[in-house]
Amino acid sequence: MKMSTATEERIQLVDPRQAYARPPFKDQEAMKMPGSTEKMKPRPDHGEESYEGSGKLKGLTALITGADSGIGRAIAICYAREGANIAINYLSEDTDAKQTAEVAKQAGVDVSVIRGDLREESFCNELVEQTRQEHGAIDILVNNAAYQETGNDVDEFSTELFDRIFKTNVYAPFWLSRAVMKHLPPGGSIINTVSIQGYDPSPYLLPYASTKSAMLGMTKGLAKLAMDHGVRVNAVAPGPVWTPLIPGSMPKEKFEEFGADNLFGRPAQPIELAPLYVWLASPDASYVTGEVFGCTGGRTPV
């Protein structure tokens, strides 16, 4: 019996436990926050070679914070290949931001790169306005940038550090969301990156985990206000993801076995999360708002 064409073209399935690198991760160069993609071993996969778009975001404009590396870079690449124009915001890693922009531009879309510190309210307002002016519109805001440091005792978390983490992880998404609501059209989206830490906090990440709990509440509350404008607000809650944030902020004994404590026995790669952000920004998710989508390797329902 002759097999059908559909069967002959069957995609190749891969065991998700073996799809990407597994710990231990021993050979990392010492780095400080926000970290560097170039120094990571293995290098994270942002979909540079694998992701193929299909026009889901054609002609739209997206502002993505923390888009120089990690999840933000993967989102930028996927959005560009889906036809969206991209504004890349980042703090200080010029090399990483340039690389993200180069890959995104290969999709034939307009790409702007805007460096600046989200802890400043005035910069957040300027970032939204610059994006709108350079691209003519703004349809999607992805609040992805975050900062973290670890500590073994509550006394190790100074007020200055607590303030820095909250300014980056909570205040900035609020300032940006408030500013962008004046420009988002009905059907536009705000998408927040939260975390498993918002549900199952690790004590050594106390300030960071606290901000992610706050962002869960902000996502659900803002969704109710934003729908008065026809704008949807959702969030993605990652578990462990292999990004520069990890060796940049964690001691060696923690990142060596990073991601080993879930059903997959490994951390996610950024490209494994980015398609969620594509779907949430697209008209395919037109009846979805106030939701949080977990991508945690089976660690917890969110």
CA distance to 27, 33, 34, 233, 240, per residue, from 245 (Å): 16, 7, 6, 25, 11
Which residues, at least 6 apart from 41, have a Cβ–Cβ distance to it below 8 Å? 25, 27, 28, 29
CA–CA separation, 302 and 296 (whole Å): 9
Nearest to 291 by CA among 225, 228, 237, 231: 237
Domain 55-295, classified CATH 3.40.50.170, yes or no: no
Which residues, at least 6 apart from 243, have a Cβ–Cβ distance to it below 8 Å? 35, 44, 69, 70, 71, 270
The alpha carbon torsion through 47, 51, 53, 54 (nearest 10 deg) reads: -150
Active site residues: 208
Tokens of 255: 């990142």
Read out DSSP for 153-180?
SGGGS-HHHHHHHHIIIIIHHHHHHHHH
Residue-level pLDDT, tens digit, the chain, 302 residues: 454 555 568 888 999 999 999 998 877 776 676 667 877 778 888 989 999 999 999 999 999 999 999 999 999 999 999 999 999 999 989 999 999 999 999 999 999 999 999 999 999 999 999 999 999 999 999 999 999 998 999 999 999 999 999 999 999 999 999 999 999 999 999 999 999 999 999 999 999 999 999 999 999 999 999 999 999 999 999 999 988 877 777 777 777 888 888 999 999 999 999 999 999 999 999 999 999 999 999 887 66
CA distance to 40, 70, 200, per residue, from 255 (Å): 12, 15, 18
| pTM reported for the whole predicted model | 0.93
Q: What share of the chain is helix, strand, coil (3-state, %, to 5)?
A: 40, 10, 45
